[in-house]
């Protein structure tokens, strides 16, 4: 009887993940706005499960309001996000927010902290360009110049949250 009760309790308990992004479902999109209620550009969202290798390869998808995306590769590790630009050169549009949104499926505050890895990053992006809301990470890269060697990384302190 006791074994049955213990088994029932274990099955009813939500699965908790180690403090990692691996095996989490994430949706990636590009968003630009001066007024959040009226986006200038809202890119098509892509959803994957975080694993080994590059999670997202973003290519131009067709302009909206005269704006299209700069091609990038996004690699998500257990507690780090690396973004590498793949186009020879350009400048990202200036707006109140012009950047990347990574929304992780979770019912809790997934991130305790987010910081730019200054040793890896070769763009003028700082911790002030990162915002965290629950399981969603916003990275504002508005107005920055880039080349196909431009990159940045964000190191994250990931909380123990149940896998959704």
pTM of the model: 0.85
Q: What tens digit of pLDDT does each residue of 33-79 get?
A: 999 999 999 988 999 999 999 999 888 777 777 777 889 999 999 99
| Residue 13 reports pLDDT greater than 60 | no
User: Of 79, 70, 77, which Cα lies nearest the Cα of 99?
Assistant: 70
End-to-end CA distance of the chain: 30
Q: Decide the pairing of beta strands 80-85 and 72-76.
A: antiparallel
- Average pLDDT (94-106) is 95
Q: Which structure tokens are listed for 42?
A: 């809202």
Ramachandran region of residue 66, left (φ > 0), alpha (ψ -120 to 50) or beta? left
Structure confidence at residue 16 as a pLDDT band (50, 70, 90)? very low
The distance from CA 17 to its chain's CA centroid, rounded to whole angstroms, is: 18
| Residue 99 CB burial class (10 angstroms; 0-12, 13-18, ≥19) | buried
HSE of 89 in the Cβ direction (CA atoms, 13 Å)? 0
Residue located via tokens 């290798």: 53
């Amino acid at each position: 009887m006791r074994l049955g009760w213990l088994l029932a309790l274990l099955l009813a308990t939500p699965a908790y993940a180690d403090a990692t992004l691996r095996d989490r479902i994430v949706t990636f999109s590009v968003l630009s706005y001066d007024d959040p209620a009226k986006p200038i550009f809202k890119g098509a969202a892509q959803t994957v499960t975080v694993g080994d290798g590059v999670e997202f390869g973003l290519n131009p998808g067709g302009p909206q309001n005269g704006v299209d995306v700069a091609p990038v590769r996004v690699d998500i590790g257990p507690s780090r996000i690396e973004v590498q630009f793949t186009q020879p050169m350009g400048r990202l549009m200036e707006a109140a927010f012009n950047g990347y949104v990574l929304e992780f499926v979770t019912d809790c505050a997934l991130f305790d902290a987010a910081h730019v890895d200054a040793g890896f990053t070769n763009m003028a992006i700082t911790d002030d360009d990162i915002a965290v809301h629950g399981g969603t990470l916003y990275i504002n890269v508005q107005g920055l110049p880039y080349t196909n060697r431009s990159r940045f990384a964000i190191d994250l302190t990931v909380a123990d949250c149940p896998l959704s």
